[in-house]
Amino acid sequence: MFSKGILSFLAKVISSWEVIAVTVVLILYFTLVSYVARLHHYSRGSSFSRKPKKAKKTKTPAETAQAADDEDLGIEEE
């Protein structure tokens, strides 16, 4: 499918110092950008970045009556 000349040319291009240097620089650049973006994301205190608070579980009428009875008796729950 490919001739030997094309394969040897691709091998030389890929292993050239210019391609290797650009690849290393790009990897370092994207790592730095990702790190800074992560720091910026977690350091912001805006309400958009916070997780929404879960709503408290509402008590059923039976639990409310039980709590009222316990309060009348002086019993406290922890």
Q: What is the pLDDT of residue 63?
A: 67
Report if residue 53 sits inside a domain: no
Which pTM was predicted? 0.47
Q: Can you give the pLDDT at residue 47?
A: 52
The pLDDT tens digits for 6-48 are 989 999 999 999 999 999 999 999 999 999 998 888 765 555 5
When pLDDT is cut at 50, 70 and 90, the band that residue 51 belongs to is low
Structural domain span for residue 36? 1-45
Per-residue three-class SS string for 9-74: HHHHHHCCHHHHHHHHHHHHHHHHHHHHHHHHHHHCCCCCCCCCCCCCCCCCHHHHHHHHHHHHHC
Residue 35 inside a domain? The answer is yes
What is the number of domains present in the chain? 1
**Within a domain: 75:** no
